[in-house]
Structure 1
Amino acid sequence: MSSSVLYDVPGPRAVARNRVIGAATIVVVAAVVGFLVWRLAVTGQFSAEKWNAFTYTRIWEQFLLAAGRTLAAFAAAAVGALILGFVLAIGRLSDHAWLRWPVGAVVEFLRAVPVLVMMFLLYYGLPVVGVRMEGYWVVVVALILYNGSVLAEVIRAGVESLPRGQSEAGYALGLTKSGVMRLVLLPQAIRAMMPVILAQLVVTLKDTALGFIITYEELLFYAKYLGSQNSLDRPIVQATLVAGAIYIGLCLALSGVARLVEKRLGRVPKSSAGPARPVQETTDTELIAAQRGLGKFNPGAGGGGGRL
C-alpha cells in the first residue's frame, strides 16, 4: 500500500497527543516571550529616550548599507556553496576509491570545523604565512567551505535514496556513468532534496552574522557599533532588536522564495495525449536483453517477442 508520507499515519490517540504537545509548546513559548517583553518594559527599554537614535535618517541608511553587505556575502556564499556541494557530492559518489575516500575525508573535516573557527583561521591565521584576506572574502570563503560540505552530504544522500532501478534503466538505455548521474539521478535527487537545500541556504544567510567578530561591517556589526556609542543612553538592546527584525525579514523573504521554487518544481506538466497509462515494471531479463542488444522488447505485447 502506497502512502504520501514517510511514516505511519497517526491514529486518533496520537493526533490528540500531538495536539496537546503543540498547545503546551505554544503556551511555553508565549510565556517566555511575554516575560522578556515585560522585563524590557520594566527596565525602560521601550522609552522614547532609548529609541531617539532611530529618528535620524542617517541611522537607517547605515542599516540599509549593512543589510546590503549581508546580502552580498550571502549571495556569493550561496552560489559558491552550491557549486562546491555538487563537486564534492560527485566525488563522494565516485566508483574510484582513490577519489571517493579523500573527498569523503575533506567533507567530514569541513563539516566538523565550526564556521567561526574557519573565519578565525582565515582572518588571523593566514597573515602569519603572508596571506591576507579582506573581511568580506573571509566570510564568503568560510561559509562556502562549511555549507558546501553540508550540501554535498545532502545531495549524496538524495542520490543514494533513489531506487536502484533508476540507474539500471539509464544503463539499459546505453548511458554512461556520467550520463546516468547528470540526466537521471541528479535531477531527481535535487528535486527531492530541494526543501533541505533551501533550508541550508537560510542557515547560510543567518551565519553571515558571525562576520562581525572579524570586523566585517554587516548588520550585527553595525548594531554593535551603534549600541556602543559614547552617550548617556546606549541603544544596544534597541539596535540589536532592529538588526534582529531585519534578519527575520530577510529570512522570511528567502523562505517565501523557497516555497515558490518548491511549488514550481512540484507541478506536474499536463499532457494533451490524455491520461497517463500505468507503467509496467520490466523484469531483470528484459533489462539485460535491452542492454546486450538482443532485441527490442515490449512489456505490453502479448506475443512471444515481448519477453525472452
Structure 2
Amino acid sequence: MSQATVLYDAPGRRARIRNAIVAAVFLLVLAAMAAWVITRLADRGQLDADMWRPFITASTWTVYILPGLWGTIEAAAVSIVAALVLGALLGIGRLSDHRAVRWFCGAFTEGFRAIPVLLLILFTYYLYAQYGLVPPSQLAFASVVTGLTLYNGTVIAEILRSGINSLPAGQGEAATALGLRKSQQMRLILLPQAVTAMLPALVSQMVIALKDSALGYMIGYVEVVRSGIMSASFYGNYLPALIVVALVMIAINFSLTAFATRLERRLRSAS
C-alpha cells in the first residue's frame, strides 16, 4: 500500500486502479510507437546487416571512432580539471571577507554562467584565430576547452558555494576558536566537507562537460560525434553510426558516474 508523504496523500483504491490503467495505456502507446519506428527503419534498410558490418571491422574504429573518442576524452578531461580549479577559486572568492573580491567573483560567475556554451566556444575560437593566440593546429581544441572551462567552472563555483553555506555554522566557529585563519578553515575544514556533500552535483556537471564537448563539432574539432558522422558519410549508415556513438557516450558517462559513486561512498565512510 502506498504511504502518504509531505507532497501528497496516499492514493485510494480507485486512484490506484486509475493510475494502473493510465500506466498500461501509456506503455501500450509507447510500444506501438517503437514498433512503428522499427518497422519504418526496417523498410528503409536501416536495420540491414550491411549497415552494421563496418562496426565489426577494425579500420572503422581505428580511423574514425577511436580518434574521435580520444578527442572527446582529452577535451573533457582538461576542461573538467580546469573547471574544478576555476570553480574552487570563484566559489571561495564569493565567500571572501573582501568586498572587491566578492564583487569580482560574483560578477564573473553570474556573467559567464548566463552565456551558452556554444557561444563561448565560438567567441574564443574567433578570438584566438584573430589575434594568433593559439597555434592553428590547437585552435579548435583550445576553444572547446576554454568554453567548457568558463561555463562549467562558474557552475561548479555556485555548487561549492552552496555546499559551504549548507554546512553547520559551528564548523567555522569551532575553527575560529582554535585560532585557524580563514584560508585554513576553508582548506582544511569547510571545503573538504562541501566537496563530499556536493559530489553528486559535481559529477553531474562533469557529465555535462563531457557531453558538451560534442559542440566542438561546430568549429571542426574532431570528437566522437564528428568522427561518427564522418564514418557514416563514408559507409552511408547514418542511423547505425549515431546509435554506436550514443552507446559509446552512455558507456563513458556510466563509468564516470559509477566511479564517482564509489568515491563518494569511500569519502563518506572515511569521514
Name the TM tier (shorter chain).
0.7 to 0.9
Query: Aligned residue for 2:195?
Result: 190
For residues 91 and 126 of structure 2, what CA distance do their matches in structure 1 show? Answer: 30
Cα offset, 1:156, TM superposition: 0.3
Deviations for 1:78-123, whole angstroms, at most 9, x for unmatched residues?
Answer: 1111111101111111111111011111111111111111111111
Q: 1:13 aligns with which of 1, 5, 11?
A: 11
- Shift of the 79–28 alpha-carbon distance from structure 1 to 2, 3 Å rule, reads farther
Query: Aligned residue for 2:42?
Result: 41
Deviations for 1:33-85, whole angstroms, at most 9, x for unmatched residues?
Answer: 55543432232210123234334321021312221221111111111111111
Cα offset, 1:131, TM superposition: 3.0
Query: Aligned residue for 2:242?
Result: 240
Read off the aligned partner of 2:262 and give its amino acid letter. Answer: L
Query: Aligned residue for 1:87?
Result: 89
- Shift of the 10–265 alpha-carbon distance from structure 1 to 2, 3 Å rule, reads farther
- Structure with the larger RCO, 1 or 2 (CA within 8 Å, 6+ apart): 2
Number of residue equivalences: 260
Query: Aligned residue for 1:261?
Result: 263
Q: How does 1:196-211 map to 2 (within 5 A)?
A: 196-211=201-216
Read off the aligned partner of 1:48 and give its amino acid letter. Answer: A
Report the secondary structure of 1:187's partner residue. helix
Read off the aligned partner of 1:260 and give its amino acid letter. Answer: R
For residues 25 and 89 of structure 2, what CA distance do their matches in structure 1 show? Answer: 44
Q: How does 1:1-308 map to 2 (within 5 A)?
A: 8=6, 12-13=10-11, 33-62=34-63, 63-132=65-134, 133-229=138-234, 234-268=236-270
Cα offset, 1:20, TM superposition: 8.9
Read off the aligned partner of 2:248 and give its amino acid letter. Answer: I
For residues 186 and 159 of structure 1, what CA distance do their matches in structure 2 show? Answer: 7
- Shift of the 257–100 alpha-carbon distance from structure 1 to 2, 3 Å rule, reads same
Read off the aligned partner of 1:60 and give its amino acid letter. Answer: W
For residues 180 and 53 of structure 1, what CA distance do their matches in structure 2 show? Answer: 57
For residues 18 and 77 of structure 1, what CA distance do their matches in structure 2 show? Answer: 45
Cα offset, 1:187, TM superposition: 1.4
Quote the sequence identity (%): 39
Report the secondary structure of 2:198's partner residue. helix
C-alpha contact 2:129 2:139 (8 A) present in aligned 1: no
Aligned Cα root-mean-square deviation (Å): 2.8
**Structure 2 unpaired stretches of 5+:** none
For residues 97 and 74 of structure 2, what CA distance do their matches in structure 1 show? Answer: 37
When normalised by structure 1's length, the TM-score is 0.75
Q: Which structure would you say has the larger Rg? A: 1
For residues 160 and 106 of structure 2, what CA distance do their matches in structure 1 show? Answer: 13
Query: Aligned residue for 1:306?
Result: none
- Shift of the 268–205 alpha-carbon distance from structure 1 to 2, 3 Å rule, reads same
For residues 266 and 241 of structure 1, what CA distance do their matches in structure 2 show? Answer: 37
Range 13-22 or range 252-261, more displaced = 13-22
- Shift of the 13–167 alpha-carbon distance from structure 1 to 2, 3 Å rule, reads farther
Report the secondary structure of 1:12's partner residue. coil
Cα offset, 1:128, TM superposition: 2.4
When normalised by structure 2's length, the TM-score is 0.85
C-alpha contact 2:141 2:221 (8 A) present in aligned 1: yes
Structure with higher helix content: 2
